[in-house]
Structure 1
Amino acid sequence: MFFDTALDDPEALGQIDGVLRDIASWGAQVRRAYGAAADALADLDAGDRPRAVVAGGPDGRLFRAVLEPICPVPFVAWPHPGLPAWAGPLDLVVVVCAEGSGIDAVSTAAEARRRGCALLVAAPEGSELHTVSDGRDAVFLPASGSNATALAVPVLSALHRLGLGPDVQPESVADALDDIAERCSPRVGVDENVAKEVALALADSTPLVWGGSVLAARAARRIAEALRSASGRPAVAGDDEQLVPLLSNAPEVDVFADPFEDGPAPLRPVLIILDDGTESPVLDVARRRLEAEAEQASVRVYPVRAAEGSQIGRFVTLLAVGRYAAAYLALGMGRPA
């Protein structure tokens, strides 16, 4: 049972006020994270290029997705403890931990110090990670808050200043998030609110989430996780090869089914397309293939478009819309957001 009236009911919306306020504060969190690191960033300039960059931890893939297309040296995401065997004094290791005490992050920084690697670390001042990483050839960015995505912005800014990545434009990222907060606000009705519209579409459906570019695909995975948690149902993120079979085998609609005699109808998929503005003939072919398969199977398609701006800005705005949709989905289903 999905209570669609809850999405525009102020009293019902009060139940998820804390979650909605947190998402709405993402823009402010980006500004705080960048402001806390501003002094350290001002001292950076492009010096000798490292042989390679190793980004540790779960956010390593995000950094790689942003930097890999233009980084002038090899960039490796390393989600495992420690470092690859080849990492040494010629390489830069990036370690980010909003809490500053993660075992893997601390061990990675300690291993980097032991091998003589240059370090770029973001963590709270005085934390275990700060202490372990302190020393020569280490750049430390003081963390503000626990939002890992917001903390990624000053890290990417540092990599830009070191001549390794694109310009991030933190204020534009924060402004784009503020705009999403306005457009997906609980005060905005279902007919004008893309997050509420997606939540309604998923009320009795299985989400299939596609993002064509590397960053959009990462956003798709995180949004699918949020939708699974919100609904207690499956939610699948994947490429066209993975999603087309799910579309082609979607349960048929039985217009004569009686829910009292036949039981609840099987959940049908809804295709959510995350569009971050990346233009590519390969992506165009994949998207047309998905849309054609969805049309053939009478599956609804909902495009979600990112705000214009830097890559990280497009990523976080897609993620924010998905998180809003998950919160509204949980509310309509009477589940904890």
Structure 2
Amino acid sequence: MTVFDDSALDDAEALAGADAIVRRLAEAGSRVRRETADADEPIDRLRGLPRPRALVAAGTEARFLRAILEPVCPVPLVAWPHHGLPGWVGALDLVVVMASDVAPPSVVATVHEAVRRGAMLLIACPASSLVAEHAAGSSTILLPTATADPFAAAVVALAALHRMDLGPAVDPEAVAATMDDVARDCSPFADVTENPAKDLALCLADTQPLVWGGSTLAARASRRVAEALRAASGRAALAADADALLPIVEATTARDPFADPFTDEQSADRRPCLVLLDDGNSAPLVRADHGRLVAAAERADVRSSVVQHDRGSEVERYAALLQTGMFAAVYLSVGLGRTSEV
């Protein structure tokens, strides 16, 4: 079993192996600013367009868009992760696609189908990409992107949808500033005692991560964080709701305080670690689930760690939770000596 080296989290040489990943995370805010600035002109042209019959979100971050839009969107909305489009989509509908310059064939096919059916197409992608070529048409609105950052493209798309009165107001500068704050707090130069991402990595060092988010957006962030933790550690990491996680926590056997971690066979079994992503949602059911999970973890002597960000808009809070989890995944890989595999 790989042993986590906690000293690596403050070791410049060990951290250097993750420099490219950390740098990309740290520059997330600047990518949001750049994409927003580049899309200002096409977004301005959206004001006053007729309201579509329905909205289909496809491609990267489609489910994130759905989570933001569903509570307020005045028209029916669906996130479509499949090849092509639903059979009912036609000229009265809006298809929103976010894609990079290396979009998978399924996304290219979706764009091609939207153009063929005459649907209005709002697409965030590089202007010179293959998917942009397939998107060319009289009903296509291109939001040019350049950073290959799916989240930055999603923020641009949300700003465009707000201009069309289909979504909530989004302040890209505030989102970028929040991501800058997380980058500063989670910097590799910040000591482990004051760095929330390094602290989370230490909590997860020799455990099996269980990640929970109570609100719709926090749950979305939990799935993304679990994916990153799996890649960082090579271990299983589960993101699920409280009802799915509680049996796992409650079934954990009591820790033997006299066990020798180097000789006792049972100590090789990784205990779960509960990670709670808290975006400040005050809904009674969310707070009740949070309380049930914390209480169960205390009874079973299971470690738990709360990542909290309750300030700003929903998008800002989501970005903060996600970025903190991503930084923690990088530091987990550093401690496990797996930076070359992430």
TM range (shorter): over 0.9
Gaps of 5+ in 1: none
Q: What is the match of residue 70 of structure 1?
A: 72
Structure-1 residue corresponding to 2:34: 32
- Output the CA distance in 1 between the equivalents of 2:74 and 2:244: 33
1:260 positional shift:
4.1
Q: Is 1:281 aligned to 2:284, yes or no?
A: yes
In 2, Cα distance between equivalents of 1:100 and 1:208: 32
For 1:203, the equivalent position in structure 2 comes to 205
Q: Is residue 144 of structure 1 aligned with residue 150 of structure 2?
A: no
Structure 1 Cα separation of the partners of residues 336 and 130 of structure 2: 42
Post-superposition CA distance 1:180-230 (Å, at most 9, x none): 000000111111100000000111111110001111111101101111111
| More displaced 10-residue stretch of structure 1: 122-131 or 232-241 | 122-131
Return closer, same or farther for 1:86/1:270 CA change in 2, 3 Å cut-off. Answer: same
Percent of aligned pairs with the same amino acid = 49
The 5 Å alignment of 1:87-236 reads 87-99=89-101, 101-236=103-238
Contact 2:60 2:97 in 1 (8 A): no
Deviations 1:223-269 (Å, cap 9, x if unpaired)?
01111111111111000011001100113211222334323432111
Structural mapping, 1:251-270, within 5 Å: 251-263=253-265, 264-270=267-273
Contact 1:307–1:313 (8 Å) recurs in 2: no
Partner of 1:299: 302
Aligned amino acid, residue 2 of structure 1 = F
1:311-322 paired onto structure 2 within 5 Å? 311-322=314-325
Structure 1 residue 78, shift from structure 2 partner: 0.3
Query: What TM-score results when the alignment is normalised by the length of structure 2?
Result: 0.95
Secondary structure at the counterpart of residue 326 of structure 1: helix
Map 1:8-19; keep pairs closer than 5 Å: 8-19=10-21
TM-fit CA distance, 1:103:
1.2
SS of the residue 1:261 aligns to? coil
Question: What residue identity is the alignment partner of 1:302?
Answer: S
Check whether the contact 2:60–2:150 (CA below 8 A) recurs between aligned residues. no
1:240 aligns with 2:250: no
| 1:34-75 deviation line (CA, Å, top 9, x unaligned) | 111111112221432111100112421110000000000111
2 CA distance for matches of 1:257 and 1:295?
A: 20
Provide closer, same or farther for how the CA distance between residues 126 and 15 of structure 1 changes in structure 2, counting only shifts above 3 A: closer
The Cα of 1:307 is off from its aligned counterpart by 5.6
Q: Judge conservation of contact 2:60–2:99 (CA < 8 Å) in 1.
A: no
Partner deviation per Cα, 1:90-118 (whole Å, 9 max, x = no partner): 11011110225431121111111111111
Higher deviation after alignment, 265-274 or 241-250: 265-274
Structure 2 letter corresponding to 1:330: S
Structure 2: distance between partners of 1:171 and 1:101: 27
Normalised by the length of structure 1, the TM-score is 0.97
Q: Matched residue of 2:275: which SS? A: strand
SS in 2 for 1:48: coil
CA RMSD of aligned residues (A): 1.3
Quick one: structure 1 residues 261 and 124, their matched pair in 2 at CA, closer, same or farther if it must change by over 3 Å?
closer
Aligned mates of 2:236, 2:293 — CA distance in 1: 19
CA–CA separation in structure 2 for the residues paired with 1:319 and 1:9: 25
How far 1:276 sits from its partner (Å)?
1.3
Q: Between Structure 1 and Structure 2, how many residues are aligned?
A: 337
For 1:100 and 1:279, locate their aligned partners in 2 and report how far apart those are by CA, in whole Å. Answer: 40
Stretch of structure 1 that moved more, 216-225 or 98-107: 98-107
Check whether the contact 1:20–1:327 (CA below 8 A) recurs between aligned residues: yes
Shift in alpha-carbon separation, 1:262–1:94, aligned structure 2, 3 A: same
- Contact 2:101–2:130 (CA<8 Å) still a contact in 1? no
For residue 122 of structure 1, give the secondary structure of its aligned residue in structure 2: strand
How many Å separate the matches in 2 of 1:265 and 1:126? Answer: 52
